[in-house]
Amino acid sequence: MPRYGPDLGALGDLWGRPEWHADAACRGHGIDAWFPVPANARNEVAAARAVCSTCPVQRACLRWALAQPATLAGVWAGTTQGERAHLRAPS
């Protein structure tokens, strides 16, 4: 069973999803790979990145993730929390 329960997708629908999400490669996959736990994070991040690397809306996803403070956790557009923090940092 997913760590976040079967109804998390319904919550996402309530919050609203960006228009590009309908075309995202991750759509229909379980959520766990995008929110890894430390014990097996390396494998889960690699699996998420593999899906993201094939995604036709990866750039739109990254733009959205960088603009959303709520995306501190998880893998978005193949990037980790730390990578996005680095990208958000002023140059």
pLDDT tens for the chain, residues 1 to 91: 445 444 444 444 445 678 888 999 998 888 888 888 774 688 889 999 999 999 999 999 999 999 887 667 889 999 988 899 889 888 7
CA angle 20, 23, 26 (to 5 degrees): 105
Q: Which pTM does this prediction carry?
A: 0.75
Domain boundaries, the chain: 8-88
The crossing angle, in degrees rounded to 10, of helices 81-88 and 58-67 is: 70
Burial level of 71, CB count in 10 A (0-12/13-18/19+)?
A: middle
Per-residue pLDDT at 82: 87
